[in-house]
Structure 1
Amino acid sequence: MRKPFVTACLVAVWLSIVSGIAFALPPVQRTVLDNGLVLLVSEEHSLPFVTMYLMVKTGSKDDPAGREGLADLTAASLLFGAAGRTLQQINEEIDFMGARLNSAAGKDYTAVTLRALTKDLDRSVSIFMDAVMKPTFPENEIKKEISRTLGAIQSSEDQPGYVAERAFQKALYLDGPYGHPAEGTKESVGKLTPRMVKQFHQDYYHPNNSILVVVGDVSQQELSRSIVKRLEMWPRKAIPESKALFSAAQKKQVIKVGKPVTQSNIIIGNRGMSRDNPDYYAATVMNHIFGGGGLTSRLMQEIRNKRGLAYSAASFFEARKYGGSFQIHLQTKLPSTDEAIKVAMEDLVRIRTELVSPEELEDAKKYLVGNFPQKLSTQSRIASFFGQVEYFGLGLDYPARYPSLINSISREDIRRVAQTYLQPDASITVIVTRLKEAEDEKVK
């Protein structure tokens, strides 16, 4: 039986948009089952579809040393067979219903998603839950997936953007949990085995380590009849305590990687913040002005529009559960590499030292608040959004609070967070470019 709301609330969320248009979200109900599973439900009956979004709180951050890519391989392998169904049978049933079933692991968590017609809910949920609770992990399919992953990694090494990102993450996070790609490396993926996959699943895939969001054309009665009973059969289990140390480099570095490219791919960045940091909202506004606002951002105006130095110029905060990064991304002609970096750093120093204009601040606020409903424009987006809201502890009233969180930011707040989280003296610069030497060069 369900607990009578260990923690539960019924939330009807309304957002007042700057334009004066009211944006409504269906009510979201939060329940914690006896086995520890957090269940979020939002009824929305405009279309005969249901979306289920299961977030398992494990990702590549939990990959054991030397087994990088294991979380990603485990997520993919869930759908290779379950409870007597083969991969082919799962695919045929899902296709016949016109449903979609996917799984993928990121750095912090794994997401298993289902979208199906309401009339097929019983059948589709059965496949969904079997994949999570009773995967068979067929050895032949796992070996095929390992081969596909190795091939994808090999191909990505010819993509300058991927090479730059991989080098930046490794330099910033050192040997920590965020320092390797979620898909792993050539060295680690080739050592993974079906037995490792089974053990990883046994360690982390449990209801007390999961959040399930259900959005769409389903009633509470239907949930109780067809979904909750299945969920209650999922036994809880102790989750391994993470022994990972989340650290980041604190010294200035320049890393050059030689590739036969026609333009330079550049990442400049430093340690950032976790998603639950109270400064996240001021940093969001600051970044929009600096480099996150597309063609209107300072970086694009200065580097591309005025000087013609770069094909693209942007910045963002990557805020994760246990930390994150601030990054500037540039693509420029080979002869313009040094000048583009110089101008980007000048803009960075400027936003750290000078107050932004009142017009820049107002425009950023209007855009961020006005664009917020786009994050909640489909069932899938709503499900993913509230999964993350729960995971990061933001509160179900977060959509209603978001406008005030953004609108409360001052010009002084912008300068303060820029001084705190943009660190030119501790920046890591990765440049994937054509070098004179045939081998990679590293300059500190």
Structure 2
Amino acid sequence: MIRATFALCVTLIAAPAAHAIEIQPVTSPGGIQAWLVEDHSIPFVAVSLAFMGGASLDTPDKRGAVNLMAATLEEGAGELDATAFAQAVESLGAQFSFAAGDDALSVDLRALTENRDEAAALLAQALTQPRFDADAVDRVRAQVQAAIRSDDTNPRALASKEMARQAWGDHPYATSVNGTAESVATLRQADLIEARNRVLARDRVVIGAAGDITPDELGQMLDSILGGLPEQGTAPLPGPATLGLTGGVTVIDWDSPQTVVSFAGPGLPIDDPDYFAAFVANHILGGGGFSSRLMDEIREKRGLTYGIGTSLSTGIYGQTWGGGSAIANANVGQAVGLIRAEWDRLAEGVTDQELADAKTYLTGEYPLRFDGNGKIAGILTGMQMVGFPIDYPNTRNAMVEAVTAADVQRVAQRLLDADGLRFVLVGRPEGIRQDDAGDSGDAPAPDQAPDQTPDQATN
């Protein structure tokens, strides 16, 4: 799928490997703000741009326009057609990437120090003078439509699509950034120009940079890349999404020996005071691989699946707490009952050992993510998108360590209610009755056997 989940994009926010990371705020001569980690050890720089709103700024009748526009930005700019533009980028040893997600349109640049000014000039052309030639648009459109067709025959994609539809109603989160085959077929050059004007503007860009560049040099580079963009986009940023999930089971018939099991309930934003308690709780419940409760109960003790996991989905405009698995049809009823039981049981509390093991893992693996300028640039962008303070990478582990068993129990009691957990099952599950109305009694209890990556980026 031609899609970015910012997932925030955010597969990324990391901590310093062995020492505090120094982030410098930068303001360009033209007033563009960014965060920088300066490192002159290798002659290489990475810049990450995120234009807030992303594909959520599609007009309802043109869903997929922002995604198609983003995927076509590198297909020629100014006097360079698609081939000439690609050759120019390659000759510099540079790399560009453009991706549309529900929360942001992401643009990444990687360049050697000796060629960064030329690379910046090419990127500026792509953003301010995209050609959107008919042959290039048709070629990329065909790729998007192929991705849409693939999703229509993928049970995991079908489960995700149905869960999003039920969760988010008329908000853009409810539909794929790719759009539909019908909506994408109607898009023309004028629609891509309109989509570009809705999204690409200086008032909604956040920027992270890392590598062999000084603050003054970065400021000049950013003015050269972004100075030609309008100050404001032509569309307002979207408002919050209202979660519409109710408890119950939706079954989508699919001829397969296994059923894809997706489940979700209410989540919480990253700036919620209970967020780190939920982060630790999620690790214990289903985010910790073989050490998690769901893996222990469903795989280790009963052999009902190869794997099951949970995650906190912390979109900027709406959040869920859910998970998924693939389970043999005959075992789905039992597995759903066990998931519901564990969803409720966390509110009874966790052991000291579970809490200590979760903290050890979450604080220990965190520094390992800090492994390159490209990732650091993305980290800095993600931090700004979600509103983290500039010292967050150096304080994050302390916030994990501060979580107590009482905190975990409190957030579980607040958010984890099996009666409000929605299941979407794609397959031919046994021991299950579908009830779109959300009757909490449709899933069997654990003894009634017959049986989504991004933990989130910023953490």
Taking structure 1 as the reference length, the TM-score comes to 0.89
**Shift of residue 276, structure 1, vs aligned partner:** 2.2
Aligned residues: 421
Aligned counterparts of 1:387 and 1:222: Cα–Cα separation in 2 = 18
Change (3 A) 1:62 1:120: same
Does 2:184 correspond to 1:186? no
Q: Find 1:95's aligned residue among 80, 90, 94.
A: 90
Contact in 1 for aligned 2:57/2:198 (Cα 8 Å) = no
Change (3 A) 1:435 1:76: same
Aligned counterparts of 1:123 and 1:151: Cα–Cα separation in 2 = 34
Map 1:8-407; keep pairs closer than 5 Å.
Answer: 22-25=18-21, 27-33=22-28, 37-224=32-219, 226-237=221-232, 239-242=234-237, 244=239, 246-352=241-347, 354-407=348-401
Higher strand share: 1
1:310-352 CA deviation, whole Å, 9 max, x = no partner?
A: 1211000100112211112111111101111111111111102
Q: Give unpaired runs (5+ residues) of structure 1.
A: 1-13
Percent identity between matched residues is 28
> Match of 2:335, SS?
helix
Change (3 A) 1:103 1:299: same
Aligned counterparts of 2:225 and 2:58: Cα–Cα separation in 1 = 29
Contact in 2 for aligned 1:249/1:271 (Cα 8 Å) = no
Change (3 A) 1:357 1:269: same
Change (3 A) 1:113 1:432: same
Aligned counterparts of 2:39 and 2:341: Cα–Cα separation in 1 = 49
Aligned counterparts of 1:84 and 1:442: Cα–Cα separation in 2 = 58
- Residue type at the aligned position of 1:362: A
Q: Find 1:430's aligned residue among 419, 424, 439.
A: 424
Aligned counterparts of 2:329 and 2:164: Cα–Cα separation in 1 = 23
- Residue type at the aligned position of 1:426: G
- Residue type at the aligned position of 1:376: F
**Shift of residue 238, structure 1, vs aligned partner:** 5.1
- Residue type at the aligned position of 1:44: D
| Bigger relative CO (Cα 8 Å, ≥ 6 apart) | 2
Does 2:443 correspond to 1:412? no
Aligned counterparts of 1:229 and 1:93: Cα–Cα separation in 2 = 18
**Shift of residue 234, structure 1, vs aligned partner:** 3.9
Of 293-302 and 374-383, deviating more is 374-383
Aligned counterparts of 2:31 and 2:256: Cα–Cα separation in 1 = 51
Contact in 2 for aligned 1:164/1:431 (Cα 8 Å) = yes
Q: RMSD between aligned alpha carbons?
A: 2.1
Contact in 2 for aligned 1:376/1:385 (Cα 8 Å) = no
**Shift of residue 98, structure 1, vs aligned partner:** 2.5
Aligned counterparts of 2:108 and 2:237: Cα–Cα separation in 1 = 25
Q: Which consecutive segments of 4 or more residues in structure 1 shift more than 6 A?
A: none
**Shift of residue 31, structure 1, vs aligned partner:** 2.8
Aligned counterparts of 2:15 and 2:133: Cα–Cα separation in 1 = 47
Aligned counterparts of 2:415 and 2:425: Cα–Cα separation in 1 = 22
Q: Give unpaired runs (5+ residues) of structure 2.
A: 1-13, 438-459
Contact in 2 for aligned 1:37/1:209 (Cα 8 Å) = no
Aligned counterparts of 2:222 and 2:375: Cα–Cα separation in 1 = 21
- Residue type at the aligned position of 1:288: H
1:194-224 CA deviation, whole Å, 9 max, x = no partner?
A: 2111011112211111012221112335335
Contact in 2 for aligned 1:275/1:323 (Cα 8 Å) = no
Aligned counterparts of 1:32 and 1:240: Cα–Cα separation in 2 = 25
